[in-house]
Structure 1
Amino acid sequence: MLKRYGRDEMSNIWSEANKFFNWLLVEIAVLKARRRIGEFIHEIPSDLAEKISIQPEEINRIEREITKHDVVAFLTHISPQFPGELRPWLHRGLTSYDIGDTALSLQLRESVSILIQISTKLMSAIKTVAMEYKYTPEIGRTHGIHAEPITFGVKLANWYDELNRHIHRLQRLLVSVSVGKISGAVGMYTIDPKIEEMVCEDLGLRPIIATQIISRDIVAEYMSTLGIIAATIGKFSTNLRLLSQTEIGEIMELFGKDQKGSSAMPHKENPIGSENLSGLMRVVCSNVQVAYENLAACWHERSLDNSGSERVIIADSSILLDYAMARLAGIIEKMRVFPGRMTANLNQTKGLIFSQEVMMLVAEKSKMPREEAHTLVRDVALECWENGTDFLEVLLGNNSIIQFVSEDELRSCFNLENKVRYVDYIFAKSIDNQNQEGGNEY
């Protein structure tokens, strides 16, 4: 993954140094378990892991020039650093994926924990802005067309609630990925199964039945969860870009004093952060398909199809999603919001956004079927849409309408406060609800 799109904490989890260190932890945990069940009596230094010097470049050189096998290269590198009496027991009865998959679970677990933390930070940023603009009216848009009023706070409350559900997904995922296997080349236990139980207990994992590898449904679940969250981040980013369009202009990303938007056009202030995230999240979403194919294409007790692609997709998706949520939190915290422009946009269609109230009133007062009232009001509304005329004024001059309703009744339909009167109820179901699934109970 390019350093440009990664934060240090997550990047370090998926570094080769950390991968090899986790391999070492598993190997040492196996040795400790063997000693506990009486297979040997040799002492295992308590600081053994810290004493082993892991040099990823040297391990990669050994693999590239000699072994053509990464785990054998790793063992070749660390074995001479072990106490002599322990070296015959190192990796005894194990297969590469006893080490690799169990260690991968440790990385996945660390990764999920960080994603939960950054999701919480993003939720906090959204909540702050949502509370500030809780009652700020904004036009709601469906199909890109003005529909009915919402508030900017409600828009963000929906985002907050969606992230709440993602945190719940990540909490479940934390359990799913916390598995290990020390069961040999085809899962038939070339060593005592008690060793697997002890190793997993030491590492905070639970033993799982496996072949040579842990089934890739777990990796697919991890990638799927990241893909769903990435799609949400992509959606948020796309909507921020839309709200920044010149024709809408309701929000803008913070633009630095010396920042330049274009080499050709000095006036440009582009939503480059949101644009960047929209594109990057496509990578995370597309990687999910690779994980599915790795699961589907596994031959018998194991084939090598998954290995190379997983080295790319798991790390890249984890690093990208972490980066994206952190960057989006910063965008939302610093973005400029323009309530005046929201009001102007609300009034742009000159009252058409209240057409549903008019239609319901006409149907009620005239006793005509709803669909006939709909057609009657629609004809007036489309005329106003095309001519740019005021909806209420045209209604008051339309005999087909005013024969059923009074002027006061018509005017009462054009009440913005009625449209947004349940904002508090919406917030109570989302932002104000501290105990909802996936929320602050975690």
Structure 2
Amino acid sequence: MGSNGEDIDYSSPYANYRSPLSTRYASKEMQYNFSDQKKFSTWRKLWINLAKAEKELGLDITDAQIKEMEANVHNINFDEAAAEERLTRHDVMAHVHVFAKQCPTAAPIIHLGATSCFVGDNTDLIVLKDGLDLLLPRVAAVIRNMTHFSEQYKSLPTLGFTHLQPAQLTTVGKRATLWLYDFLMDERALRRAREDLRFRGAKGTTGTQASFMQLFEDGAKVRALDQLVAKLSGFQKTYPVTGQTYTRKVDVEVVSSLSSLGSSIHKMCSDLRLLANMKEIEEPFEKSQIGSSAMPYKRNPMRSERCCALARHLMALFSNAVNTHSVQWLERTLDDSANKRLTLSEAFLSADAALLVLENITQGLVVYPKVIERRINQELPFMSAENLIMAMVKKGGDRQVCHEKIRVLSQEAGAQVKQFGKDNDFLDRVRGDSYFSPILSEIDSLLDPSTYTGRAADQVTEFLEEEVFPLLERYQDVLKQENPVTLNI
């Protein structure tokens, strides 16, 4: 019964909390990566790898015991494990007991010499590695999409902004490379985090490998065991020293790279929201999509807003990672456990969800050149002042006189824009002043927007050729297999 006396069916699947990351946003692949099925089947694989390594190094473990365990890797009785955990108050031992019941022959050697962190920490490292393997191609897909966009619009002039005030011209493609370069940095950070991951291995209760020394009485074999278990589990190296756990500094590095990715996503999508407000660029918008329940004409940038919302949560998770690492007393404390379960999963799921949306956005950005041109025409006359002065000087005019003429005319035109909401008529005033008659035939060419963008187009070409294309070559196989992203919600 609820707090208000209402009868509630708590057995209903809709009566319990469900994370929106799993019900609305993240991919099935990333959800599986943090699922109980993946977690506990990985525990069993680790017990098998430990047994295989111990057998190879001389312990009395049979092929029959290993085959029995292998036959039950995915056959997990979750209800029975939950019941055992309620009795033992220990999740690892609960699963040891359940696995042992399924594998009576192998029961004596399951978890032999290991501590809980053998399965807990090593599984976390596998999940981190697999999670990064899922995210890196998504980042590459966004980079690929933005590469096409930058190339397509590298020469289209647009008004630049500093302090969110009109500044010198740039191009639509050059602006896109600013977003693109951030994602190149994110790919590098995520790839480094992936490459730097090692395995905790078989380190024992406080990292001294004392339990394994009891089993083997041979330091060389214990060291070999550590390396062999790692290789069987897909890692080339183990962390050379650990306490009971691998240092939580590893989590800091991984979550840091994810949070940094979040800042790139937020920055780009915030810019897209600003540009949508200006009606210069819009994200994709389906024919049947509704922008507002009250205002049918609206085309809200809801995808970019979702990216910003997810990215903001992702960025906030970094503080959890650094705080958890900072309070791991001596060889370890358990106050990391609950926090890690929340922080690591939500960091990866949030990054995955945001990248899915961003990939969808970047597949179909819509540019409105006429709107962009109109905004340029409103501001370019003022920016042309120096060019007009130089042209007049070449015709024999006095620079100071010309400067004063333009100052007066530009202020008059500015008043028309700001005080009366009219269009910028600065050039009409210049054409109407006989002083500027020597250059009237040149004014149109002096106002060609493409002459105000500097090396923007060349910078785009050089950047893509020198920095982006080599990166995309790393992902060419996986990108060939990828299908366009559609969003269900």
Is TM > 0.5 for Structure 1 vs Structure 2?
Answer: yes
- Contact kept, 8 Å, 1:106 with 1:178, in 2: the verdict is no
Q: Paired residue for 2:447? A: 414
CA distance in 1, matches of 2:49, 2:404: 74
> Does 2:267 match 1:235?
yes
**Counterpart secondary structure, 1:431:** helix
> Does 2:254 match 1:222?
yes
> Does 2:164 match 1:144?
yes
> Does 2:40 match 1:7?
no
Matches within 5 A, 1:144-293: 144-190=164-210, 191=212, 192-205=222-235, 206-208=237-239, 209-245=241-277, 248-293=278-323
- Contact kept, 8 Å, 2:252 with 2:322, in 1: the verdict is yes
Q: Which residue type is aligned with residue 193 of structure 1?
A: R
2:414 to 362, 373, 385: 385
Deviation, 1:244, is 1.0
Question: What RMSD over aligned residues (CA atoms) do the two structures have, in Å?
Answer: 3.1
Aligned CA distance change for structure 1 residues 281 and 211 (closer, same or farther; 3 Å): same
Deviation, 1:90, is 1.5
Matches within 5 A, 1:284-363: 284-354=314-384
CA distance in 2, matches of 1:221, 1:363: 59
- Contact kept, 8 Å, 2:317 with 2:347, in 1: the verdict is yes
- Contact kept, 8 Å, 1:349 with 1:385, in 2: the verdict is no
2:466 to 430, 433, 437: 433
- Contact kept, 8 Å, 2:291 with 2:300, in 1: the verdict is yes
- Contact kept, 8 Å, 1:109 with 1:178, in 2: the verdict is no
- Contact kept, 8 Å, 2:310 with 2:353, in 1: the verdict is no
Per the normalisation by structure 2, the TM-score is 0.79
> Does 2:108 match 1:76?
no
List runs of 5+ in structure 2 lacking aligned partners. Answer: 1-18, 213-221, 418-423, 476-489
Deviation, 1:432, is 2.6
Aligned CA distance change for structure 1 residues 259 and 408 (closer, same or farther; 3 Å): closer
**Counterpart secondary structure, 1:351:** helix
- Contact kept, 8 Å, 1:165 with 1:438, in 2: the verdict is no
Identity, % of aligned positions: 24
CA distance in 2, matches of 1:367, 1:290: 65
Deviation, 1:241, is 1.1
**Counterpart secondary structure, 1:385:** helix
CA distance in 2, matches of 1:336, 1:31: 57
- Contact kept, 8 Å, 2:54 with 2:61, in 1: the verdict is no
Aligned CA distance change for structure 1 residues 302 and 414 (closer, same or farther; 3 Å): same
Aligned CA distance change for structure 1 residues 78 and 393 (closer, same or farther; 3 Å): same
- Contact kept, 8 Å, 2:157 with 2:450, in 1: the verdict is no
Deviation, 1:322, is 1.1
Q: Which residue type is aligned with residue 77 of structure 2?
A: Q
Q: Deviations over 1:18-59 (max 9, x none)?
A: 011111111111111110110114114457334231234443
Deviation, 1:166, is 1.6
**Counterpart secondary structure, 1:260:** coil
- Contact kept, 8 Å, 2:155 with 2:172, in 1: the verdict is yes
Q: Which residue type is aligned with residue 195 of structure 2?
A: V
Q: Deviations over 1:237-263 (max 9, x none)?
A: 111111111xx1012233323222222
Deviation, 1:417, is 1.9
**Counterpart secondary structure, 1:99:** helix
Deviation, 1:196, is 1.1
CA distance in 1, matches of 2:149, 2:117: 47
**Counterpart secondary structure, 1:141:** strand
Aligned CA distance change for structure 1 residues 181 and 367 (closer, same or farther; 3 Å): farther
Q: Which residue type is aligned with residue 203 of structure 1?
A: S
Comparing 141-150 with 385-394, greater Cα deviation is found at: 385-394
- Contact kept, 8 Å, 2:200 with 2:242, in 1: the verdict is no
Q: Paired residue for 1:39? A: 59
**Counterpart secondary structure, 1:349:** helix
Q: Deviations over 1:309-329 (max 9, x none)?
A: 110111111111112111111
- Contact kept, 8 Å, 1:169 with 1:225, in 2: the verdict is yes
CA distance in 2, matches of 1:296, 1:279: 28
**Counterpart secondary structure, 1:24:** helix
Q: Deviations over 1:203-236 (max 9, x none)?
A: 1221111000000111000000000011111111
Deviation, 1:73, is 1.6
